[in-house]
Amino acid sequence: MVHWTAEEKQLITSVWGKVSVEECGAEALARLLIVYPWTQRFFDTFGNLSSPTAIIGNPKVRAHGKKVLTSFGDAIKNLDNLKATYAKLSELHCEKLHVDPENFRLLGDILIIVLAAHFTKDFTPACQATWQKLVGVVAHALAYKYH
């Protein structure tokens, strides 16, 4: 089980409290599809992904980004119980969605950069470190049920 210090929990919840899940989620997913275009392979039904502008404005991307980050919020509410919290999602990503877990790590790194651009100097080194740990642990939990 992952151990979180009181300081780490504080850094997570204080950042999360100021995040617009809808905006941040949309931004993170859009950037994933832009910076790592091969990730578009999972989104054939999303319509126009032909340029950064198209991707950023794409309503399906925005909606899905919101969905993904909302789920991330569940992780934050269950920091001491992540594997159980994500067990079903993990199975889904393996058995139905066939997503390589490397993509979870890519999205995690992108999320960090979105947060950094949003919070600028308030995204301190300690903040970054805690969130890098969090996205790593979330990625691990999501990959845990893969077989």
Partner 1 sequence: MLSAEEKKLIQSVWAKTQEDFGGEALCRMFVSCPQTKTYFPHFDLSPGSAQVKAHGKKVMNALSTAVKNVDNLSQALSELSNLHAYNLRVDPVNFKLLSQSLQVVLAVHLGKDYTPEVHSAFDKFLSAVAAVLSEKYR
Which parts of this chain interact with partner 1 (CB under 8 A)? 27, 30-31, 34-35, 52, 55-56, 109, 112-114, 116-121, 123, 125-126, 128-129, 132-133
Question: Cβ closer to partner 1: 90 or 130?
Answer: 130
Question: Cβ closer to partner 1: 19 or 34?
Answer: 34
How many CA atoms within 13 Å lie on the side-chain side of 65?
Answer: 27
How far is CA 43 from each of CA 38, 79, 97, rounded to the nearest angstrom?
Answer: 10, 29, 11
Question: Cβ closer to partner 1: 47 or 74?
Answer: 47
Nearest approach, Cβ of 76 to partner 1 (angstroms)?
Answer: 18
How many CA atoms within 13 Å lie on the side-chain side of 55?
Answer: 21
